[in-house]
Structure 1
Amino acid sequence: MKRTTIAAIAGVALTGLLAGCSGSGGAAETAGTVTIRVQGMPAATDAAGLTQFKQMVANFEKVNPGITVEGSTNVWDPLTFSAKLAGGNIEDVIQVPLTEPQGLISRKQVTQITGQLAGWKHYDELNPQALAPLSDARGGVYGIPQTLYAQGLVYNRALFEAAGLDPDNPPATWDEVRAAAKQIADKTGKTGFLFESTENQGGWQLSMLNYAFGGEMEKEHGDGYAPAFNADPTKKALELLQKMRWVDRSMGGSQLNTQNDVIKQFAAGGVGMYLGTPGTYKLAKVNFGMQNPGDFGVTSMPQSGGEATLTGGQVFMVPASVTGAKLDAAVKWLVHAYAEPTYDPEVAAAQAEMLSKDPASAVGVPSLPFFDQAHQELIDEAIKDFVNVDLEHFASYKKGTAKLELKAEPVAAAQAVYGILDTVVQAVLTDEHADIAALLDKAEQDAAAKIKAAGK
């Protein structure tokens, strides 16, 4: 299913506040109380989120009287995970980015939960696309998504108008992006297009361009994987950035940027376009104080031969050390906290009504559905009175992304490969005479070594 749609509470991580009414599968083992530790609890500084989490736990324990839930504010750390798993010092439910599941599955560090999930009455209605990155070659499922996204192009509608561009007709190709960026820079003096380049985010965004230009990031090689980015699509993408930076002068003067750097400049009205998702609307509005959120526009990923975009997100999984009653309890928690609330229109409507009263909320921002389109339309209808964003400003994103292939992030050593490609992006954006072919040759060698070291 290549569709995007309106999520009931996009931008809000904790979706289970009112889910207690639907239950999650009955009581735990009769031998006694089972205690599970779960990641995903907000820090004390997020008072509203912490309140939601505690209520979600209370609702769960009420319908599952044999299970006690202890929240953890720990976050995913690939450098310490293996040691914690070996030492038995890892939570029973962990939250990981979508770059990690395939590696965890292949190393047998997480547990298959297909049998437990199959007992949930709506299991067969889950979006296969949402489960694919969490499944092995035989179709065994190892987790539940929390958030899923597809990358697109975010743009400032006010800057488009100031530059003489039509904000209701955003760029659909990378030639059009280049032209629009130059026009914004020439007409307004602002940065036309800004690209992330540090903290592995440069390699991540180069992967997005690679897909849009028709490339691949890796390929199966014997019993493992090999890098595949050293090819024409990536070269063309880097040549585009090189021309925008040094010929058009449309990418501004600050090139070593994280995602937060980019969105902060965008929210201040200084950037015309960047690669992002509808979910960055809330970051611009809340985290960085965008004065007029109505200026936020987003369209599907522009294409130059790929007809594809990168998808990603956050997921919850169960470590391999968790078995028996704890495993059953962990899966019940996953269903209760992250699956049921996205299925029940009444729950979605109640949450949307509550969230719409918060000025910092973003109800109605599109994301990828957990279930089929027909069911998602029921959710959309249930929340329509509480949507507090301008849906027209997301329309081209929904329409365009529905036609694209959604391609997952690299399976093998993704973060390490992204870090290697950071240096390539940085060189192109800071050295007018950077040798793209030589940079990619070196990056391919380094990436192959990282993939081999990771056992992939």
Structure 2
Amino acid sequence: MKRTIAAAAVGATAALVLTGCGGAATTTPTEGGSDGGKLTVWNWGSADDAAKAYEADVLAAFKEVHPDVEVEIVSQPFDQYYTLLGSAIEAGTGPDLALFNGGTQLKSRADQLIPVTDELADLEDTLAGWPAFQTGGETYSAPMFLQGFPIYYNKAIFEAAGLDPENPPTTWDDLSAACDAVLASTDKSCFALGNKEGLGIEFFLSGFASGLFTPEEYDSWIDGTRDWESEHAKQALQLWADTSADGWYNDGANSTAMFNDSFDLFSGGEAAMVIGLTSGIAHWKQFDEFLGEDLGFMMPVTVNDGTTLALPVEGGIGYGILNEDKKDLGVDWIKATVDHDALAAYSVAGGQITSDTTIELDTDIQSAQDIVAELPGSKPLLHTALSGETLDLLHRLGQQLLIGEVTVDDAASQLAASEG
């Protein structure tokens, strides 16, 4: 069954909805080919055959425009990626292009990147997810995929706990009751959580945000006028601490790696729910391989009145140009990464929700279809609007809140001071 991705212009106010399958993103070269040279590209590697095939397709699309340019792709370990990149840039040995996560990781380095606003303008109407790669009125990359934090659940565990597997919780009270039932009736945890890297609170905050914050509060947060000591911001921190105290998570969450140990717990049927991803890893295709028809997708739940539930999704990853002298080549590499045919092939093979809104997602996996259906009303991720300094602090405080080493008031005060 084919399903057209009708995606929102993620993070913007107007929805971008396109149908059909023939509207390929054009890869018009910035100059008439090339007489040679070398382009050095950093990324964090290709984890599987589908990712390797996509990289090969990107390279082929680039070579159509620049057949004589040598492309050196250097894969760095993800857990050290930004540290290594920062050191290389400082030493003057950085690459010509580097792969970045959208949001904080790219925006915090915008002063080191080359703007490509005008050069990518011809792609604006075809791709969704741009705001994650834009700051200060400039665009620094094109989004390759849409990345978000959907909540997945195991229907078999729900049924074993006496819950309706076809009607997941829609309010926080329902969710709390469901967790109580899972913990009382099964030997499973309610949520799989890996917080060794401190990332768990990112997923919690962005995953549940639309049910916590009013639309006005949500937009203010994204715009940078946020107050960590406000009622709902402190409530988010309190719920994070309370869910741990109430035993929702697997033992040793703070010593469990999110990638991939916590997701393996969910895939292996050891947890009823997990806040996963829409693309890249820990997504609908990966979980379906283990759980099949037991895999379910659910929206965030309503915590407070006056909120509007929305799937948290924005542009996921994209290449930024670091070398002004290689700008033209870099722009053509970025355009190759969003080549229509390359993205279309990767969408199903790799389990990606692509940024190209003209691509049909050819799958009968129900959770993927459900995610696509929610894209037009999606909202950007709250945690990627934070500075790198505040995000690092949030990771540390999230670990401490999980085990009661810091109070919510103190955590909120520290976070407010970091942005003051």
Aligned mates of 2:370, 2:321 — CA distance in 1: 37
Listed as ranges, the gaps of 5+ residues in structure 1 are 8-20
Alignment map for 1:158-177 (pairs within 5 Å): 158-177=156-175
**Structure 1 match to 2:201:** 203
Listed as ranges, the gaps of 5+ residues in structure 2 are 8-23
- How much has 1:111 moved relative to structure 2? 0.7
**Superposition CA RMSD, Å:** 3.7
Mapped contact 2:154–2:269 kept (Cα < 8 A): yes
- How much has 1:252 moved relative to structure 2? 4.1
Mapped contact 1:38–1:94 kept (Cα < 8 A): yes
Mapped contact 1:217–1:227 kept (Cα < 8 A): no
Alignment map for 1:30-429 (pairs within 5 Å): 32-40=35-43, 42=45, 46=48, 49-50=51-52, 53-54=55-56, 56-74=58-76, 77-98=81-102, 99-105=104-110, 108-118=111-121, 120=122, 123-127=123-127, 130-138=129-137, 140-208=138-206, 209-210=208-209, 212-214=211-213, 228-247=227-246, 249-256=247-254, 257-259=256-258, 260-279=260-279, 291-305=290-304, 306-307=307-308, 308=310, 310-312=312-314, 313-319=316-322, 321-323=323-325, 326-341=326-341, 348=344, 351=345, 361=349, 367=353, 369-371=355-357, 376=358, 379-380=359-360, 384=362, 387=363, 389-391=364-366, 393-400=367-374, 402-414=376-388, 416-429=389-402
- Could you tell which deviates more after superposition, 300-309 or 260-269? 300-309
**Structure 1 match to 2:413:** 441
Aligned mates of 2:378, 2:236 — CA distance in 1: 18
Change (3 A) 1:211 1:195: farther
- How much has 1:217 moved relative to structure 2? 11
Matched, 1:24 2:27: yes
Aligned mates of 1:133, 1:281 — CA distance in 2: 19
Mapped contact 1:207–1:310 kept (Cα < 8 A): no
Mapped contact 1:100–1:411 kept (Cα < 8 A): no
- How much has 1:147 moved relative to structure 2? 2.2
Aligned mates of 1:336, 1:295 — CA distance in 2: 37
For 2:275, give the aligned amino acid.
L
- How much has 1:162 moved relative to structure 2? 1.4
Mapped contact 1:41–1:71 kept (Cα < 8 A): no
- How much has 1:408 moved relative to structure 2? 4.9
For 1:91, give the aligned amino acid.
P
1:293-314 alpha-carbon deviations (Å, 9 max, x no partner):
3322222222324435543521
Mapped contact 1:217–1:229 kept (Cα < 8 A): no
Question: Residue 334 of structure 1: SS of its match in structure 2?
Answer: helix
Count of aligned residue pairs for this structure pair: 388
Mapped contact 1:151–1:311 kept (Cα < 8 A): yes
For 1:25, give the aligned amino acid.
T
- How much has 1:404 moved relative to structure 2? 4.2
Q: Which has the larger radius of gyration?
A: 1
Aligned mates of 1:180, 1:292 — CA distance in 2: 20
Aligned mates of 2:408, 2:87 — CA distance in 1: 38
Aligned mates of 1:220, 1:47 — CA distance in 2: 36
- How much has 1:271 moved relative to structure 2? 0.4
Change (3 A) 1:213 1:22: closer
Question: Residue 91 of structure 1: SS of its match in structure 2?
Answer: coil
- How much has 1:246 moved relative to structure 2? 3.3
Question: Residue 41 of structure 2: SS of its match in structure 1?
Answer: strand
Question: Residue 179 of structure 1: SS of its match in structure 2?
Answer: helix
For 1:131, give the aligned amino acid.
W
**Structure 2 match to 1:12:** none
Aligned mates of 2:142, 2:202 — CA distance in 1: 23
Aligned mates of 1:398, 1:55 — CA distance in 2: 24
For 2:356, give the aligned amino acid.
F
**TM-score, structure 2 length as denominator?**
0.77
